[in-house]
Amino acid sequence: MSSSIKTFSRVARPRLTLLSAPSSFASFRPLLAPTSCSTQPAPYQKRSYASTPPESPTTPVVTTPPKKRIIVAMTGATGVVLGVKILKALRRLGVETHLIMSKWAEATIKYETDYQPIDIRSMADFCYTIKEQSAPISSGSFHHDGMIVVPCSMKTLAGIRMGYCDDLITRAADVTLKERRMLVLVARETPLSDIHLENMLAVTRSGAIIFPPVPAFYTRPKTLADVEDQSVGRMLDMFHLDTGDFERWAGFKGKK
């Protein structure tokens, strides 16, 4: 009887082996870290898309760069045809465009060109009204490759300089500056007052580029369209986009 009790005791109360405690609680941290379940895409600048899934680890993956995105804003200053040609050039280059037109830009379009505002909207991939502050481009979380205000009125320049975001153009420009992205302001005014110059200097120090549409005469333009094409081409140079629509300086040619 005593023998059976001893045997039962061995079964019911096995010998326990204690594991030594870790010297640091940090060794458990990988086990405690939550598993990521994010469904958000990778950042816009780093996205890549495989043309075909790799068959093996040694099969090379063919990737294509993400499509560029440019915000195009048009204000009521004269020279609205430059904005129209910017949209046309970006479409031809395969760039995704996000368009904002002010009320006075629409009026200037009808006055200075043969287009209607609806025609200009059809040239862009996405369009927003001037008061649409909830648009995706009003947030820094929206990835894009830069913004151009063409033409840029002195009122819009002042609003951007002061950070007074009372409409979508100034808000999108403000976001572009704070996110350290390219902002090109095609300022249209002459002559310039000290207020204009101070505003230009301030936004330049904040990272914007002031780009007055000054024509280049070394190309010997024959028509106004030649002047426009050269200006548009140089503007898009700021975004590392080549329109191929104008002659670049290559030194003096012919008679000296």
Residues forming the annotated binding site for FMN?
76-78, 102, 153-156, 188
Q: Could you give the strand order of the β-sheet that contains 183-187, starting from the edge strand earlier in sequence? A: 126-128, 96-101, 69-74, 147-152, 183-187, 209-210
Quote the strand ranges of 143-204, DSSP E. 147-152, 183-187
Q: Which of 81, 82, 120, 77 is nearest to 100 (CA)?
A: 120
Residues contacting residue 96 through CB under 8 Å, at least 6 positions apart: 67, 68, 69, 70, 125, 126
Whole-angstrom Cα distance, residue 49 to residue 39?
Answer: 16
Indicate the length of the chain as a whole number: 256
Please report where in the chains the tokens 């033409």 appear, as a residue: 151
State the binding site for dimethylallyl phosphate.
Answer: 218, 234
Pairing of strands 147-152, 69-74: parallel
Helices (H), 179-253: 194-205, 224-237
Residue type, 14: P
State the binding site.
Answer: 76-78, 102, 153-156, 188, 218, 234
Whole-angstrom Cα distance, residue 101 to residue 129?
Answer: 7
